[in-house]
Structure 1
Amino acid sequence: MNLTQEEILEQCAQMCKNTLMETLEISFCEVGKDYLIAKMPVNPRVHQPDGVLHGGAMVALAESVGSAASYMFLNSKDLFIRGIEISANHVKSVREGYVYARAEVVHPGRTTQLWDIKIRDEEQNLVSVVKLTTIALPKN
């Protein structure tokens, strides 16, 4: 089953309903052959006490886009995707606007997948570098 880019983005949007992704206002905005991009607004909802984007919110964005990418690219409704390891280096603070997370596949395995995720601000400045490993588990 080959889905269009619009259909993939709509499936991602449906997966976000009543989840942390909806709470953080994460939305998926672009998909390609080996990548998926999601964005998140930077506002007081995701700030740490000193008014900058919380590192935990960036990690949640990264794991959300990487896990969704695994699910979409494996193209199987018979699998659960789970993050099993994540590592993030935050290199720039952001106070407002949007951040964009681009998940690119490093290893598209059937069981485990490795993702390189770069988070950038609206001016394309690098904000965070994340490595995510996901695992595909059968639903039954």
Structure 2
Amino acid sequence: MMDGNVAAVFAERQKGTLPGELEIEWAEVAAGRARGGFTVRQKHMAANGFMHAASVVALVDSACGYACVASLPDGASGFTTIEIKTNYLGTAREGERVTCEARLVHGGRMTQVWDAEARNETTGKVVAVFRCTQMVLWPR
């Protein structure tokens, strides 16, 4: 398990990957929680003029994944996602800020369950609620 807020570590690690390309910024990544977001730009949009659903999933799934790494039990070698579920309740337009908060619901030896909520900070409305299950990996 990682100690303290390790957001800077994950900001560096994501360079050149999808979360980096989407310009996701992290306020907090720590054991049991993560907070971050992005300002909606053209790269986040669908052809219909609204934010693409995959942009939201990239945000909440990254928050849960990064916090999962920060929350791994001692000796674990990593994790893999075994299930995700997203309910969309709203959207955002270009120039608006979307943030998320992720929290650990269950932190077992073999699995972790995470909940996250994405919010349009400009309107104050919830954009999506997300739940994922992570399988903890152990060295063989």
> Normalising by structure 1, what TM-score?
0.87
Letter in 1 for 2:87: N
Letter in 2 for 1:38: G
CA distance in 2 between counterparts of 1:108 and 1:82 reads 14
Q: Is the 8 A contact 2:38 2:99 kept in 1?
A: yes
Runs of 4+ residues over 6 Å off in structure 1: none
Question: How many residues are paired up?
Answer: 138
CA distance in 1 between counterparts of 2:78 and 2:4 reads 22
CA distance in 2 between counterparts of 1:2 and 1:134 reads 17
Q: What is the Cα-based RMSD across aligned positions, in Å?
A: 2.0
Change (3 A) 1:90 1:47: same
Q: Is the 8 A contact 1:39 1:100 kept in 2?
A: yes
Shift in Å, 1:33 = 5.8
Identity %: 30
What CA deviation, in whole Å up to 9, does each residue of 1:49-103 have, x standing for no partner? Answer: 1111111111111111101010012265852222211110110121032211111
Which segments of 5 or more consecutive residues in structure 2 lack a partner in the other structure? Answer: none
Which segments of 5 or more consecutive residues in structure 1 lack a partner in the other structure? Answer: none
Shift in Å, 1:104 = 0.8
How do 1:37-116 and structure 2 match up within 5 A? 37-74=35-72, 79-96=77-94, 97-116=96-115
What CA deviation, in whole Å up to 9, does each residue of 1:9-41 have, x standing for no partner? Answer: 111112212211111111211246632112122
Structure ranking higher in helix proportion: 1
Shift in Å, 1:4 = 3.1
Q: Is the 8 A contact 1:44 1:51 kept in 2?
A: no
Q: Is the 8 A contact 2:2 2:30 kept in 1?
A: no
Shift in Å, 1:110 = 2.1
What CA deviation, in whole Å up to 9, does each residue of 1:94-120 have, x standing for no partner? Answer: 103221111111101122110111001
Q: Is the 8 A contact 2:44 2:51 kept in 1?
A: yes
Q: Is the 8 A contact 1:42 1:99 kept in 2?
A: yes
